Amino acid sequence: MRKKFIVVVLVPLLLLLILTYFFLDRWMEAGLEYAAEDFVGARVEIDQLSITYSPLGLRFTRLQVANPDDPWKNLFETGPVRFTMDASQLVRGKYIVETMEINDIILGTGRTTDGSLPGGRRPAPGPAGTPPFSALIQQVLEKSVEKTPLFDPALLRGQLNIDSLVRTQNFRTLTLIDTLRSGTTDASRGWDSTLASFEAGKKRLQEVETGIRAINPSELKTVDKIAAAITTVDDARKTVNDLTGTFNERQADLKGSLQKLSAAAGTIDESVGKDYRQVLSLARLPDVNAMGLAELLLGKQLLTKATMYSQWIDMARAEAAKYAPEPSMETPPRLRGQNIHFPVERGYPRYWIKNVKVSGGTDRQNPDFIYLTGTVRNVTSDQRVTGEPMTAELEGTRGSSMTMRIAALIDRRKDIPVDEYRAQATGIPLAAFELGKSDFLPAKITSALLGTNVTVTVPGSQFDATASLDFRNLRLEFNAEPRNLGERLARTVLSGVNGFDAGLRLWKKDAGVDVAFTTDLDDRFAGGIKAALGAELTKLQNEIRAKVEARIADKRREFEALYTRKRDEVQKQIDVYHNVIKEKTALLDGKKKELEARLEKEKKGALDNLMKGIFKK
Amino acid sequence: MFWLKIIKDFVAILREGQTPRQVAGGFMLGSIVGFSPVTTLQGLVVWLIILLFDVNLGAALLAFTLCGLCAYLLDPVFHLLGYQILTNIDALRPFWTMLYNAPVAPLTRFNNTVVMGSFVCALVLALPIYFGFKHLVIAYRKTIGARVEKMKIYQVIRHSGLVQWYLKLRDLGS
């Protein structure tokens, strides 16, 4: 044994290990705080962290995470937190947390110290990607909700300049017609070359006809000559068949191309309809058939809330995407070798928290304190390995009357990620809830109980969100006297009820985000609008439609004339060539029959002569 | 200077000092870690053995350096050998699978072709290296050393400026 080594190296190493054992808790605490601060962008404080060795794990008594936007408040703080890890997987560099308990989470508590980080240690913003849902909903909020229709017939007529409105619009139909026109011109070049090939075919058929007509069966005196003539007819028939086959193929191409153009031309009416509706919406004419009170009363408020909550969905999706498996890079330099993988009894991802038990809420001193409890399962770096989607289920109460339930499912097991979020709440007391808009029935709910049910499904880059709201024990306060027919009708409808149901649906289509609002009061409101404004509106709508169509008409006529002319030319040429083929085929068939009859006759004559010769002998 | 000291010690040990078994043992252990990539559990264990037991450290370091150079040249051979052992010997497959699923074994990186190939080579060569080196030390001390010192070329080199400078350097340490 090398005593010097034991004294100089092993003994100090042992002392270092002992020292580490005693200080590891503090070092780990500092390291975790620093890493978390880098992630959050504000102070993170962990109290009394201790490492447990059997089973391997961590526990601490309190965690405070400061709010980076308001450093004198915490985003949240927790009570005791405890988790255990799978030590056998840790040596493989895999962090498998069997159970994590986070107790007494309290949101938004005050701080006694400043929670901002010195020297601007804030995380850099991530790279720009697809626009988040909150941004899409914000766009809808900006675009659709501020458009309040005009309800007053006098205002309708007075403020509406249909000519100017129609003149200044860039109609998509005009662009469509230009595209179709250039498409027809391009296609007609192809058709011309096909028709030119038909002409060449016609010449070839003419040559065949000349050759066949030159055969006169009555002049053919021997069987050999007749047989040779039949072979010539068969060859000609083969040529005609080849030309027919080519013709059929090209005819099918031509007809396909014509059908495509015809189908595209058929969308002009639909496009005119869209342009008309665009002008209609700019004219702010109310659509009496689909007049919804929900959009007017609740649209702005609901979309504002939806924008706020969608930021949470954005955050959940961003975090889930962050833990996507990294692509393996195959760059084996010298002395690196190749890793051979063997069957694993149980595959583990790099990171997997199997079960998180959470409980907590807001400050209990507050009589309206929120208390939530629930579990989050399968937070992992690779759901394809664990085979389990991430789920979260939280249930809670607020004060003594309100109950809530929140559930989420984040599934990354297939190529297209799917997220589902559900939230239910009952008995939400409303003391001050804004209704309407500055230009339509500004009002306030002074007292009501709200029940709500929200479901959001996010498959890939699409999404579909529905929310139902149930207002009961409703008391309303209107800020001003009604200024127009719409406000008067809405007020009449609302004053007769003490509650109503409202619905919101937001969904993403290829073209963008669409939104729809409903209430059980819509029919009554729409009926009133229809009775008061119906005739005047119909007249204005017809006028707008006529002017939109007139602006498009010239270009449309021009295109339709071009298309019809080209189509008829092509059809005519096809018919001519078809007839030529038919004619030549009939000629060939007739000639062949004639030759075969001649051959039969000649054969019979030769046989008779032979028999006569035999009997004479 | 560090390497000159090692070589000085090594030459000194060939002539006198530690026993041939200690010198050969050091060289053998050094060759095992020299052939293998450094970041493995078994490499750490072998280094601990070298440092803990009274084998010749100079011999171990020299073997580590020489075998490290050889390993770079022999890398394709190690890779091929390791690949064959890991993939083409069906009888061993259950054993590798068991190790692959065992808690600490992955730290040995046994499933890497170069680690496996070089380690097997080192183990196979360990005994020949030990006995060969032991024989060399004994022979050097008995006969070769005296013969070498009598050779004219040795005398010429020994009295050359370079070797005098080396001897000065050597004696600085003592």
- Summarised one tens digit per residue, pLDDT across range A257-268 is 888 888 888 888
Max avg pLDDT among A88-97, A410-419, A424-433? A410-419
Which ipTM did the prediction report?
A: 0.74
Of A266, A264, A275, nearest in space to A170 by CA: A275
Summarised one tens digit per residue, pLDDT across range A185-239 is: 888 888 888 888 888 888 888 888 888 888 888 887 788 888 888 888 888 889 8
DSSP string, A87-155: HHHHTTT-EEEEEEEEEEEEES-B-SS--PPGGG--PPPPPP-SPPHHHHHHHHHHHHTT-PPP--HHH
Cα–Cα distance measured from residue A339 to residue A28, given in angstroms and rounded to the nearest whole number: 32
Convert the pLDDT of each residue in A174-187 to its tens digit: 888 888 888 888 88
pLDDT at A560 over 80: yes
pTM reported for the whole predicted model: 0.52
Query: Residue B174: its pLDDT value, please?
Result: 46
Phi/psi of residue A388, nearest 5 degrees: -125, 135
Q: What is the pLDDT of residue A59?
A: 92
CB pairs under 8 A between A and B: 65
Contact state of B37 with A335 under an 8 Å Cβ cutoff = yes
CA atoms of A7 and A56, how far apart (whole Å):
31
Is residue A295 within 8 A of residue A514, CB to CB? The reply is no
**Contacts with B87 from chain A: Cβ below 8 Å:** 340
Residue A86: helix, strand or coil by DSSP? coil
**Chain B residue whose CA is closest to A339:** B112
Q: CB neighbours of A138 closer than 8 A, spacing ≥ 6?
A: A307
Tokens standing for residue A197? 């090939």
**Structural contact between residues A217 and A594, judged by C-beta atoms closer than 8 angstroms:** yes
Cβ neighbours around A501 below 10 Å, total: 15
| Chain A interface, best mutation among B104, B111, B118, by max A CB count within 10 A | B111
| pLDDT score of A96 | 86
Contacts of A335 in chain B (CB under 8 A): 37, 71-72, 75, 114
Strand-pair partners of A99: A84
Q: What's the CA gap between A361 and A370, in Å, rounded?
A: 5
Chain A CB contacts of B96 under 8 Å are: 340, 342
Does the beta-carbon distance from B53 to A1 stay under 8 Å? yes
Do the chains contact at A1 and B113, CB–CB below 8 Å? no
The DSSP letter of residue B142 is: I
Q: How far apart are CA A506 and CA A487, in angstroms?
A: 26
Cα-based distances in Å from A222 to A229, A599, A605, B170: 11, 9, 11, 122
Under a CB-based contact definition with an 8 Å cutoff, are residues A195 and A570 in contact?
yes
Decide if B34 contacts B71 (C-beta within 8 A): yes
Give exposure, A298-308, as e/b (b: 16+ Cβ within 10 Å): bbbbbbebbbe
- Determine the residue type at A597: A
CA distance B67 to B73: 10
Per-position pLDDT tens, chain B of length 174:
455 555 566 666 677 667 889 889 999 999 999 998 878 899 999 999 998 888 888 888 889 988 998 998 898 899 889 999 998 888 998 899 888 888 788 888 899 999 999 999 999 999 999 999 999 888 888 887 777 777 777 677 667 676 677 667 656 644
Picking from A92, A337, A342, the nearest residue to B112 by CB comes out as A337
Taking residues A305-314, report their average pLDDT.
Answer: 72
**Does the pLDDT value for residue A16 go beyond 90?**
yes
CA of B100 to nearest chain A CA: how many angstroms apart?
A: 7
Q: Do A91 and B78 touch (CB under 8 A)?
A: no
Chain A residues whose beta carbon lies within 8 Å of the beta carbon of residue B73 = none
The alpha carbon dihedral of A343, A349, A353, A355 has a sign of negative
Q: How far is CA B117 from the centre of its chain?
A: 16
Nearest to B111 by CA among A616, A573, A344, A188: A344
d(CA B79, CA A338): 8
Which segments of A370-499 are extended strands (E)? 370-380, 390-398, 402-411, 418-430, 433-437, 440-459, 464-478
Q: Hunting for tokens 């100090």 — which residue is that?
A: A12
